[in-house]
Chains A and B, each alone.
Chain A
Amino acid sequence: MYVAVKGGEAAIANAHRLLADRRRGDRTLPSITIQQVVEQLGLAVDRVMAEASLYDRELAALAVRQARGDMIEAIFILRAYRTTLPRFGYSEPVDTATMKVERRVSATYKDLPGGQLLGPTFDYTHRLLDPSLIDDAAVEEPAVKEPGEHVMRVSDILDGEGLIEGDGRMPEGHVMGDLTREPMEFPMARDLRLQALARGDEGFLLALAYSTQRGYGRTHPFVGEVRIGEVEVELDLPELGFAVSLGVVRVTECQMVNQFMGSAKQPPQFTRGYGLVFGQSERKAMSMSLVDRALRTDEFSEDIVAPAQDQEFVISHADNVQATGFVEHLKLPHYVDFQAELDLVRRMRRDYDAARTGSQDGMKEAAE
């Protein structure tokens, strides 16, 4: 006898209880603290902050733990929280020239004022599994220079010679957009595109950036500079007549310098691709700067011939929270639509079989 499936509510509650159990894992092991995540999985925390666009290490760490280490899930949790926060205003642009750099490398000059500063990088580590980490061996104190050096930007060196385009000035009277507050519209100005890229999925941007290197929208890039360090965030308060400091955030900035032959509108010069990301993420900042440059086809009268140059394609698909939601929604029930399709396929199949039988009969008759 048929009994309809019921009890969605109980099933959901039970599933969530099981999820909590799996999240905690073996109860004989100590539970990870939020501080441990902040301190020891710092780059995971950074990525969650960057793509959720909310700078709060502890909340990001909570999200990572709550999501059992699933990064996109953690980003989603933190974004959903961010949406509910009241807006007090828009900060002044951060001045990365005054950054207290911890890492700064340039691929375009052998040496330069401030020097090359490797900082805490995976570069030149040999990717050999390190057994000493299993036993929690003691870690040496680092050797660091005086923290917080201000060093000049590489792009300013080229700018001094007049060989690189200006630094991303928007047209006179342009009001800075915010795609979390306004509906998206194409074509999209560069400020909004950069916002979308900064929130965009690291993997997606990495793949697109890679595609430009392989000839799908080539931009002839050089890393002018990658720098990581702390910058001050300031809010202008009209009532006070001056800006007040809200605190410091750690960011990664990449200025990509690209060759450009010139066009009817522009003289031959170097052009820029720009990347700026919360926390330490060179891969993301570099990918972002490559994609930013690739998307600037309008400004340089370049033909759109590759996916990375197509802003509607790139921006519409860069957001991993949107992407994962829509891809995963396919597991929701679709049986009403499927029923409609079943009905259609059965009908078409009947027509097809009938036609075949009909034509066979016809052939038989003709043969007789």
Chain B
Amino acid sequence: MTDLATYNFAYLDEQTKRMIRRAILKAIAIPGYQVPFASREMPMPYGWGTGGVQVTASILGPKDVLKVIDQGADDTTNAVSIRAFFQKVADVAVTTKTKEATIIQTRHRIPEEGLREGQTLVYQVPIPEPLRFLEPRETETRKMHALEEYGLMHVKLYEDIARNGHIATTYAYPVKVEGRYVMDPSPTPKFDNPKMHMSEALQLFGAGREKRIYAVPPYTEVVSLDFEDHPFEVQKFDKPCALCGAENVYLDEVVLDDKGGRMFACSDTDHCEDRRDCGHAGHMLARKEAAE
């Protein structure tokens, strides 16, 4: 039988990395514009982070410290799987601490803790085209971006308001980057949108199946689309995190029993642990200690 290959550092061959690296540089030079790239088949399914994985594999070096989160948590199965992949193919140092990471690959969340200069946030993106659900044709949406013709998006948001009294988009909420391109922030909750604005970190977006890479450089204007009489606003939670007591963070709803019992806890698990280590406690945690 044919000898099976041994894989290059970070899995991708050098030619593929060069192609992706060139795309990343152009993406940074044109913030919010989706650069087409010849996405490769990865050893994990399309739709499971192949775009993010290709971007991370192309920027990753031996000095990097990698953190991978899915839904804000380091221990969700797909995050565990992607982290293990990079440990295997790049022998990279990994962490769950947001502070310690140089590269953070994420699906659906931006860490609560403010990112700093020198960090890179890599988003896994399923559908990079913010106009796709309004116009399925690539040939058409490309023209709209070229002409900066975003009327369709405003009409859609306005129809929401007419029907519901407010904009009914809760995640993948469209933003305008540096006053030019309308961009899909990936399916993060709109709660996270303000964190993209003037972020100190470099933000890279990889869509493997759709073969697009885009970027938001640090200190770049990212504005959520809205209307003067209906300004953009984020979700608010009634209660603090049940474990660490944090307010103004994004919470997961956890079903505790079949009698309607619910609790709300930080979606960003590292942030939550950090706070508990610093002595913060929510009501569920306090109860636990009291019981002991």
Bound complex: CA A62 to CA B3 (Å): 13
B54 CB to closest chain A CB (Å) equals: 11
Q: Would you call A11 and B139 a contact (CB within 8 A)?
A: no
Given A339-B251, A340-B235, A351-B165: A8 touches B75 (CB 8 Å cut-off): yes
B69-82: contact bitstring with A at CB < 8 Å (1 yes, 0 no)? 01110011111110
On B, residues with C-beta under 8 Å from A are 1-2, 4-5, 7-8, 11, 13, 15, 36-43, 45-48, 50, 70-72, 75-81, 84, 107-109, 126, 137-139, 164-165, 168, 170-172, 187-191, 209, 211, 235, 242-243, 250-254, 256, 263, 265, 267, 269, 284, 287-288, 291
Task: Pick the contact of B45: A186, A328, A334 (CB < 8 A).
Answer: A328
Residues from chain B with a CB closer than 8 A to the CB of A329 are 45-48, 126
Contact assessment for B80 and A9 in the assembled complex, using a CB-CB cutoff below 8 Å: yes
- Checking B11, B13, B37 against A86 with a beta-carbon cut-off of 8 angstroms, the contacting residue is B13
- List the 4 closest pairs (A to B, CB-CB), nearest first: A325-B46, A329-B47, A183-B36, A325-B45
Indicate whether A270 reaches chain B with its CB closer than 8 angstroms.
no
Q: Which residues of chain A have C-beta atoms less than 8 A from B242's C-beta?
A: 2
A39 → B minimal CB distance (Å): 15
Whether A326 sits at the interface, judged by CB under 8 Å, is: yes
**A342→B171 CA distance, assembly (Å):** 12
* Residue in B closest to A84 when the chains form the complex, CB atoms: B5
In the bound complex, do residue B1 and residue A34 qualify as a contact, i.e. CB atoms below 8 Å apart? yes
B269 touches A11 (CB 8 A): no
- A144 contacts the other chain (CB 8 A): no
* B253→A82 contact, CB < 8 A: no
Given contacts A9-B84, A335-B252, contact A340 B46 (CB under 8 A): no
B38 touches A182 (CB 8 A): yes
Give the residue name and chain of the A residue nearest to B187 (CB). Answer: A337
The contact string, 1 if C-beta is below 8 Å from chain B, for chain A 89-120, is 00000000000000000000000000000000
Partner of A332, one of B78, B168, B288: B78
| CB neighbours of A181 from chain B (8 A) | 38
Contact: A12 with B80, CB < 8 Å?
yes
Are B267 and A336 in touch, CB under 8 angstroms? yes
Query: Which one of A1, A80, A182, A336 lies within 8 Å of B109 (CB-CB)?
Result: A336
Q: Which residues of B have CB within 8 Å of A322?
A: 46-47, 209
- Kindly list 19 other residue pairs between chains A and B, CB separation below 8 angstroms, not including A79-B41, A82-B41, A87-B15: A1-B288, A2-B254, A2-B284, A4-B243, A7-B75, A11-B77, A83-B40, A85-B5, A316-B138, A322-B47, A325-B45, A326-B209, A327-B47, A334-B108, A335-B253, A336-B189, A336-B267, A337-B171, A342-B253
A254 CB-CB contact with B under 8 Å: no
The SS class assigned to the B binding surface is loop
Contacting B253 at CB < 8 Å: which of A5, A184, A339?
A339
**Contact bitstring A181-209, B, C-beta under 8 A = 1, else 0:** 11111110000000000000000000000
- Asked if A76 meets B81 with Cβ closer than 8 Å, knowing A180-B38, A336-B108, the reply is no
Please name the residue on chain A nearest to B78 by beta carbon. A332
CB pair B1 A62 closer than 8 Å: yes
Contact with B along A301-339 (1 / 0, CB 8 A): 000000000001000100001101111110011111101
Does the CB pair A81–B46 fall under 8 Å?
no
- In the assembled complex, the CB of A91 is this many whole angstroms from the nearest CB of chain B, namely 18
**1/0 contact trace for A40-62 toward B, CB 8 Å?**
00000000000000001011001
A180: B residues at CB distance < 8 A: 38, 40
Q: How far is the CB of A57 from chain B (nearest CB, A)?
A: 10
20 contacting pairs across A/B (C-beta < 8 A):
A4-B269, A62-B1, A81-B4, A85-B5, A183-B36, A324-B45, A326-B46, A329-B48, A332-B78, A333-B70, A333-B76, A334-B187, A335-B252, A335-B253, A336-B109, A336-B250, A337-B170, A339-B253, A340-B190, A341-B170
* Contact of A348 with B by CB under 8 A: yes
For residue B172, which residues in chain A have a CB less than 8 angstroms away from its CB? 337
Q: Across the two chains, which residue of chain B brings its CB closest to A184?
A: B211
Interface SS of chain A: helix, strand, loop or mixed?
Answer: helix
Q: For residue B170, which residues in chain A have a CB less than 8 angstroms away from its CB?
A: 337, 340-341, 343-344
Nearest-CB residue, chain B, relative to A34:
B1
- Chain A residue at minimum C-beta to C-beta distance from B291: A1
* Residues of B close to A6: CB separation below 8 A: 75
Residues 12-29 (chain A) with a chain B CB within 8 angstroms: 12
The smallest beta-carbon distance between A183 and chain B, in angstroms, is 3
Give Cα A79–Cα B208 distance, bound, in whole angstroms. 15
Q: Are A339 and B13 neighbours in the complex by a CB distance under 8 Å?
A: no
Residues of A with C-beta under 8 A to B75: 5-8
Q: Cβ of A179: which chain B residues have Cβ within 8 Å of it?
A: 38
B147 to chain A, nearest CB (A): 18
Least CB distance, A337 to chain B, in whole angstroms: 4
Name the contact of B46 in the complex, choosing from A2, A5, A186, A321 (C-beta under 8 A).
A321
A6–B37 Cα gap in the complex (Å)? 36
Query: When chains A and B are docked, how far (Å) is the Cα of A341 from the Cα of B191?
Result: 12
Residues of chain A lying within 8 A (CB to CB) of residue B41? 76, 79-80, 82-83, 321
> Which B residue sits closest to A87, measured CB to CB?
B15
> B26 to nearest A CB, angstroms?
12
Which residues from A are CB-within-8-Å of B126? 326, 329
How long is the Cα–Cα vector from A58 to B1 in the complex, in angstroms? 7
- Complex Cα distance, B76 from A190, in Å, reads 43
| Alpha-carbon distance A324/B165, docked complex (angstroms) | 37
Q: Is the CB of A59 within 8 A of B1?
A: yes
The reply to whether B36 and A1 contact each other, CB–CB distance below 8 Å, is no
The closest CB in chain A to the CB of B16 belongs to A83
**Cβ of A339: which chain B residues have Cβ within 8 Å of it?**
189, 250-253, 267
A158, B188: Cα distance in complex, Å: 59
Question: Would B2 and A326 count as touching, CB distance under 8 A?
Answer: no
Q: How far is the CA of A9 from the CA of B81 in the complex (A)?
A: 8
Bound-state CA distance A1–B291 (Å) is: 9
Whether A84 and B209, one on each chain, are in contact in the complex, defined by CB atoms closer than 8 angstroms, is no
* Chain A residues closer than 8 Å to B256, beta-carbon distance: 2
